[in-house]
Amino acid sequence: MGQPLTTVLSEAITGGREAVRFDAAVAGRLVDMAGDLAVNLVVAALLLILTFFAARWAAAATRRLLDRFRPTRRDRTVQGFIVQVVRTVVVIIGLVAVLQRLGVQSASILAVLGAASLAIGLAMQGTLSNVAAGVVLLVLRPYRVGDVIEVGGQGGVVQRLDLFVTQLSNANNHKIVVPNAKVLGDVIINVTGQQTRRIEIGFQVGYGADLERVKSLLRLVASGHEKVLPDPAPWAGVTALLDSAVEVTLQAWTRSEDWWQTRSDLLQQVKEGLDREGIEIPFPHQVAVPYGDTAWPVAPIGAAPEKD
C-alpha cells in the first residue's frame, strides 16, 4: 500500500525547506559575488583615474628633473622624448594593475602581452619602424625642436619629436605631421642648422649697362646693411649672359635668424639704387610674328610711314 498521507506531506515540506535553503544560499553567493564585482570595478576605475594623474605627475616631475641638468636644460627635443617615454611606461603599469584588480593573473597578462606583441609587431611593422626611427633621430640629432627643416617635400619649424612622428609648423601655421620612418629615410635639409647662412640674389641688367658700376652698387648696398656680416665680405659678379640681359649675382652672409628679412631688404635697396643710377632692368618683350601666308606690308626704304 502507499505511504500515509502525513508521511508524504512531511517529506514534501522537508524537500521544500531544503530547496528554499539552497536557493537562499545561491542568492547569497550571487549577492556576494555582485558586491565583490562592484567593489573591484570601482577600485579599478579609481586605479585607472589615478594612473592618468600619476602619468601626468611623472611627466611633469621628469621635465623638472631634466631642467636641472645643463645638457638637457636647453634641449627640448630630448626633454619631450624622455617625458613621453616616462608617461607611456606609467600608463602601461597602471593598466596592468587595473587588469589584476579585475581578476586577471600576471602570468595571463604576460602571456597575452607576448602574443599580442607578436601579432601587433607583424601587423604594425610601419608603426614600430617609426619608433625605431624616432630613437635613431634622437641619437643622431639631425635637427632639434625650433629648427627649420625640409623633409619629404614639406618644410617648417620643428615643434616636437616623439616616438612616432615629427611635427612641423610652416609659415602659414599649418600643422604638418611626418612619420619618423619617412624622415629618417629621406633627405633632411636643416635650414637653420648652422649659425650663419648665405644670401644669393640674381639681378638682370641691360647689355648696355656699366657692369663694374653695377657690381660696386651691389657690394655697397650689402655692406651698408647692419645685418650683413663683414666676414665673408659681400661679393658681386657676372654669373650669366641671358637672351636680353646680363645677370649679376650678389652674395652676402648673415645670421640664420636674420636671413629672410635681410634678403627682402637687399632686394628693395638694390632695386631703388639701380633706379637712382638710371640702370635699366630689362623686362620681357612680346613680338608678333606673322603666321601662314599672311605677309606684312613692307614700306620702301626712305618712305615716310603712312598715317591713319
**Residue 118 pLDDT grade (very low, low, confident, very high; cuts 50, 70, 90):** low
Structure confidence at residue 119 (pLDDT): 56
Integer Cα distance of 40 and 169 in angstroms: 45
pLDDT tens for 13-69 read 666 555 555 566 666 666 666 666 677 777 778 888 888 888 888 888 887 887 777
pTM over 0.85: no
Q: Which residues are bridge partners to 249 per DSSP?
A: 202, 237
- What's the grid cell of residue 170? 610652416
Section 299-304 average pLDDT: 50
Omega within 30 of 0 (cis) for the link into 232: yes
Computed over every residue of the chain, the mean pLDDT equals: 78
155: CB partners within 8 A, 6+ apart? 148, 149, 168, 170, 189, 191
Of 134-143, 170-179, 207-216, 227-236, the one with minimum mean pLDDT is 134-143
The CATH number of domain 142-190 is 3.90.220.20? no
Split at pLDDT 50, 70, 90, the class of 287 is low
The pLDDT of residue 125 is 57
Over residues 56-109, the pLDDT tens digits come to 888 888 878 877 776 666 666 667 777 777 888 888 888 777 777 776 666 665
Q: Alpha carbon of 66 to those of 71, 87, 135, 167, 278: distances in Å?
A: 9, 14, 18, 22, 61
Q: What percent of the chain has pLDDT over 90?
A: 26
pLDDT tens digits for range 158-200: 988 877 888 999 888 999 999 888 888 888 999 888 889 999 9
Domain 196-276 sits in CATH at: 3.30.70.100
Q: How far apart are CA 127 and CA 121, in angstroms?
A: 9
CB-CB contact of 149 with 81 (8 Å):
no
Reply yes or no on whether the pLDDT at 263 is more than 70.
yes
Q: What are the domain boundaries of the chain? A: 8-119, 142-190, 196-276
Specify the pLDDT at position 1.
47
Cell 600619476 belongs to residue: 54
CATH 1.10.287.1260 fits 8-119, yes or no: yes
The band of 308, judged by pLDDT with boundaries at 50, 70 and 90, is: very low
Residue type for 271, please? K
Return d(Cα 182, Cα 300) in angstroms, integer.
Answer: 70
pLDDT at residue 85, as a whole number: 78
